[in-house]
Structure 1
Amino acid sequence: MTTTGTVDAVPAQRGARGRDREREHAADTGIGSVRDLRGPEVRGPQRLAFADGDIVVVSGLPGGGKSTLIKRAAAEGGAVDSQDTRERWERRMPAALPYAVYRPLVRAAHYWGLWRLLRSGASVVVHDCGTQSWVRGLLAAAARRRGRALHLLLLDSSPAEALSGQAARGRRVSAYAFARHRGAVGRLLREAEAGRPPHGCASVTLLDRASAATVTRIAFHA
């Protein structure tokens, strides 16, 4: 039997309380639930809680704040961030060597680390670029095999915010890659806003940059 996660927000000071209570109840069931924490009515700090052993995927545009959220809020459990893997490899490689040369090795190392953590049965927070639906499919299958659930945290940042984030970290993606990301994340947002979590996800939580900044902890509990 699948044990699904709850999504708590502490404290919760929002408008539209009738609609919000429905979303909180749906999140507690963990079955096809959508929770929208975007907008100025959301106040922090927030704690997002899921069942022990569940898998949480953080997705959004490059530069939209995924790695920042994971570093700040997911310290207590296993976290697999492709950005961390890239930075470790960059420190080892000659500065003049283009990233494209060793990118396949970085990706292999990232997925190897993810596979090892999934195999352990531990709770996992995963950085997902959003463009590769097959990754979420594999994560959903891994969750089902151990009787757990896959949840999506989707960061809804504007293209301008994402580009600003890329500039701040000193690393921009190409215009072609950014367009692919925008298309993929846009499809995820449309599904969620229509009340349909992406295939394989038990729940989706929508965050904008302001509400993501209030999330202090992504927790897992029995």
Structure 2
Amino acid sequence: MLTTTGTVAGVPAQRGAHERPARAGSTVVRDLRGRGAHGPRALDFADGDIVVVSGLPGGGKSTLIKRAAAGGIDSQDTRERWERRMPDALPYAVYRPLVRIAHYWGLWRVLRSGAPVVVHDCGTQRWVRALLAGFARRRDRALHLLLLDTSPQEALAGQEARGRRVSAYAFSRHRGAADRLLRDAESGSLPRGCASAVLLDRAAASRITRITFGPTPPTHTSTPAA
């Protein structure tokens, strides 16, 4: 179960025109794009839930996780740890498989512990989301998506700012995957096993300072916006 809270902790934000249930009785999509300064400060989930943060490379996923999710699992952190150990002359492509194994092993350990999880998702690995959904289902918990909707220009600028660009080919794959996820969420069709999605533009994401987990929050019902 997901709630959004405003600047006062525990006070639900007013549901806006873009916020709607996607399918009655199943998945929920909350669209927080376009709210500017009126977006929520926190996203609250139930204990043990899994939150996947997805979007374009350079779109702000790592920044959001570092700012709002203590203990979030970010593949970028794993890459940087390995880069510090490796010779500067050794291309990342050589040891990339080892980085991925280390990342997923760390994710698996946290999942097995039963702790709530916020995890970085590149968007192109559908099998990862499927495995997370299956794990959540077996533990009687929920899987949620946070989808960052940033333009290609914003994402490329973000890559420049962090000093790391992905190849044109890789960026095209990421863009296709992100576009599909957003289109599906906007139409109320989430990946199998996902309980909810939150759509964030750059402004809305920048306002989120806390992604928290606690006792199952109360259910808030509403009708779709006209």
Q: Same fold (TM over 0.5)?
A: yes
Q: Corresponding residue for 1:6? A: 2
Q: Corresponding residue for 1:177? A: 170
Offset at residue 41 of structure 1 (A): 4.7
2:98 counterpart of 1:69 = no
Instruction: Give the Cα–Cα distance (whole angstroms) in 2 for the partners of residues 198 and 215 of structure 1.
Output: 24
Residues 139-196 of structure 1, C-alpha deviations (whole Å, 9 max, x = no match): 0011011110000000000000000000000100000000000000100000011122
Aligned residues with identical type, % of pairs: 75
Instruction: Give the Cα–Cα distance (whole angstroms) in 1 for the partners of residues 131 and 79 of structure 2.
Output: 22
* Conserved 8 A contact 1:13-1:42: no
Which region of structure 1 is more displaced relative to structure 2, 109-118 or 42-51?
42-51
Q: Corresponding residue for 2:33? A: 38
Offset at residue 9 of structure 1 (A): 2.9
* Conserved 8 A contact 1:47-1:218: yes
The gaps in structure 2 that reach 5 residues or longer are: 8-12, 216-226
Instruction: Give the Cα–Cα distance (whole angstroms) in 1 for the partners of residues 15 and 111 of structure 2.
Output: 35
Counterpart residue type for residue 49 of structure 1: D
State the TM-score, normalizing by the size of structure 2: 0.88
Of residues 82, 105, 124 in structure 1, which corresponds to 2:117?
124
Q: Corresponding residue for 1:167? A: 160
* Conserved 8 A contact 2:32-2:39: no
Which region of structure 1 is more displaced relative to structure 2, 31-40 or 57-66?
31-40
Counterpart residue type for residue 218 of structure 1: I
Offset at residue 33 of structure 1 (A): 0.2
2:78 counterpart of 1:85 = yes
Displaced runs of 4+ in structure 1, greater than 4 A?
A: none
Instruction: Give the Cα–Cα distance (whole angstroms) in 2 for the partners of residues 193 and 71 of structure 1.
Output: 27
Query: For residues 17-166 of structure 1, what are the structure 2 equivalents within 5 Å?
Result: 20=19, 23=20, 26=21, 31-41=26-36, 43-44=38-39, 46-75=41-70, 78-166=71-159
Structure number with the higher helix fraction is 1
Residues 112-159 of structure 1, C-alpha deviations (whole Å, 9 max, x = no match): 000000011110000000001000000001101111000000000000
Offset at residue 95 of structure 1 (A): 1.0
State the TM-score, normalizing by the size of structure 1: 0.89
Task: Please give the root-mean-square deviation of Cα atoms over the aligned residues, in Å.
Answer: 1.8
Counterpart residue type for residue 63 of structure 1: G
Counterpart residue type for residue 61 of structure 1: L
Counterpart residue type for residue 32 of structure 1: T
Name the SS of the counterpart of 1:79 in structure 2: coil
Instruction: Give the Cα–Cα distance (whole angstroms) in 2 for the partners of residues 40 and 219 of structure 1.
Output: 21
* Conserved 8 A contact 1:137-1:200: yes
Instruction: Give the Cα–Cα distance (whole angstroms) in 2 for the partners of residues 74 and 196 of structure 1.
Output: 26
* Conserved 8 A contact 1:6-1:30: no
